[in-house]
Chain A
Amino acid sequence: MEAVFQGLGLLVTTPIVFVAMAGVGWGILGGALPGISPSIAMALLLPLTYGMDPGLAIVLLASTYVGAEYGGSIPAILINTPGTNAAAATVLDGYEMQRQGRGGEALGISLYSGVIGAFFGLMMLILLSEPLAEVALAFTPMAYCALGVLGLSVIVSLSGNSLMKGLGAAVLGLMVATVGSDPISGVSRFTFGQPELLDGIAPIIVMVGLFAVSELLRQASAPVWEKPTGTGTQLKLPDGPMRRRLVKPQLLGSAIGTVEGVMPGAGGTIASFMSYNEARRWSRHKGEFGKGSPEGVAAPETANNTVASTALVPVLSFGIPGSNSAAILLGGLLVHGLLPGPRLFMENGDVVIGLYAGLFVATLSLMVLGMVILPVCLWLVNRPKAYLMAFIYALIFSGIYSIDNSLFDLGLVLGAGAVGFLMRLTGFPFLPAVLGVVLGYLVESNYRRSLVLSGGDYAIFWEDPIAFGLLLVATLFIIGSLGTRSWLGWRALRGNTPPESA
């Protein structure tokens, strides 16, 4: 209780409120621009924090992270372009709702669920830091490999009408993830002598190509050019019945986001995909998923916003940065002479409490700033189609260039767009490919590290209890999904139900 009063006191006596709001606003802008990842948005602010009070500096960086994780959903819903990796799962139903003229509703659900997720994550950060930190420490390379396999297991249910096409797309994604330096020996693979490929292909390049560029190509190739369907749509927060419907996906998203967030390296992308998949599995409206389901927006958005808070657990408790964004936050702490770990809580308790207070304000600010920014975004995407297409293309060129200041990346994004367009024409689903690209490195590097540790003995995977548990869950997911597909396919053959629901 004393800490609560101390936090409230900090809100009144310091400019934390303004700093948190500024951080969230900057973060939303960064997250909404494809290519400007949360870490870049934070890195751009880092020099500004040198002269600031340490507590305020950390609040500014953490609020930027919270804002950026939310901001990624805005272009995902409005223009089929995930602003961040974690927003890729939101594209599926969010953009479909926008195409149906329900973009305002999708944005409202995303904002509402994002705020719920951010609040839940903050509560977990404050109340359960210690036990969650233990979870983070218990993760071995075997467990990370198993976590990646668990993430890949959702491919079966994301494969649409053709399991083979889904699996094919996933393997293609895994192949893309092998480009670059080998994670163990450092040997270059599939780089064709191009130094730009040594670091691999950033998942955001593949996502923007597959989703955004291929959508531009689809729009251009449509026999009759479609008119914008969202004209007149307004930001719409969920009403009572809708809020009740969203409770289940939000609970799933919060729970998965909490666990995934504390694992260094796991991040919001796995959490959002798994939440999407689980929301569909437990939904009464399974058939709506992929066709504009509100639950399909709520689950991933709750998850990735929960991760934004719980990802701070390993940073604050052990100084382990699980992502680029967390590394920059760690840098911010170190620049101000704050050493993460148990001593941070004992010796700089005011900074930690200030951070919690700042994150609380940042979460409230998400709602306020969202209500201000989103109507403007909706207005922008309802401009005449030619203007919208032209400006999206310019945004892609500017955003992707800003990742590494590389024109080579622009060539890659155009290539990915062309492949995505062909995948659309031939009915290959995108999400398995995206999962393959995102999880390929995690799975391969930890699989091989595990075997190095065991001297090549595969028993190490079932001797590690967490790895064994995750692999068991992944196996059950795959069997369950295959069983459901077979059952629905059989029913479709008998004419009881439309085949697309399989």
Chain B
Amino acid sequence: MARDLVCSVVLLVVAAGYYYLASGIASSALADEVGAAGLPTIYAFALGTIGLIMALQAVVKGLLNRVEVGEAVDLGLMLRRAGGVLGIGIGYLLIVSVVGYMIALVIVLAAMLIYFGERASGRIALAATVGAGLFWILFDRLLGIPMPGIWGL
């Protein structure tokens, strides 16, 4: 019940925030009858209604004691582990425009390998370097997509 109740609150908050932003959409002389804010307003109300129904369902389930018993999980640990992978991704975004695609990719590959349990070693450095080189050849050379600042240049 608690999980669904939290979800419904999140949906209501998103709906309210979206409605607030939709009501601030500038009007235009070119606007049609529906307007740029027309459908977003409907979507906001739809999401709000869904959130309310979910909240009601959660409360009714709770009152009827039909609480679903799931597998016991350590949510904090799960979020921390997932957060580590996201952190590596954010780290890539922060360094790629400074050190360039190749070096940033070597770092990401090595970090992911270590994060997923490989022991830090020369083998990892070699795999990360060869892997980054292959990606660079594929995307930058073969497909002709200019990747950010190769070698920091």
Contact = CB atoms under 8 A, between A and B. Distances in A.
Interface of A: 30, 33, 36, 44, 164-165, 167-168, 171-172, 174-175, 178, 182, 184-190, 213, 216-218, 220-221, 223, 225, 384-387, 389-391, 393-395, 397-399, 401-402, 405, 407, 410-411, 414, 417-418, 421, 425-428, 444, 447-448, 451-452, 456
B89 A414 contact: yes
Query: Which interface residue of B88, B96, B145 has the most chain A CB atoms within 10 A?
Result: B145
Nearest to B34: A448
A184 B33 CA distance: 10
A432 to B, nearest CB: 11
Contact of A407 (B3, B4, B50, B96): B96
Contacts of B138: 33, 398
23 contacts: A164-B53, A164-B57, A175-B18, A187-B36, A213-B89, A218-B82, A221-B81, A223-B73, A387-B118, A390-B113, A390-B128, A393-B108, A394-B105, A394-B108, A397-B92, A399-B139, A407-B96, A418-B86, A421-B82, A425-B78, A428-B7, A447-B39, A452-B32
Query: Which interface residue of A164, A390, A448 has the most chain B CB atoms within 10 A?
Result: A390
Contact of B109 (A189, A225, A391): A391
A221 to B, nearest CB: 4
B63 interface: no
Nearest to A443: B39
Nearest to B96: A407
Contact of A168 (B33, B51, B139, B148): B51
Contact of B43 (A178, A218, A401): A178
Interface of B: 3-4, 6-7, 11, 14, 18, 21-22, 25-28, 30-40, 43, 46-47, 50-51, 53-54, 57, 73-75, 77-79, 81-82, 84-86, 88-90, 92-93, 96-97, 101, 105, 108-109, 112-113, 115-118, 127-128, 131-132, 135, 138-139, 143-148
Contact of B112 (A390, A402, A405, A448): A390
Contacts of B93: 407, 410-411, 414
B112 A414 contact: no
A233 to B, nearest CB: 21
What's the dominant secondary structure at chain A's contact region? helix
Contacts of B118: 384, 386-387
A393 B89 CA distance: 8
B53 A217 contact: no
B50 A456 contact: no
B21 A190 contact: yes
Nearest to A452: B32
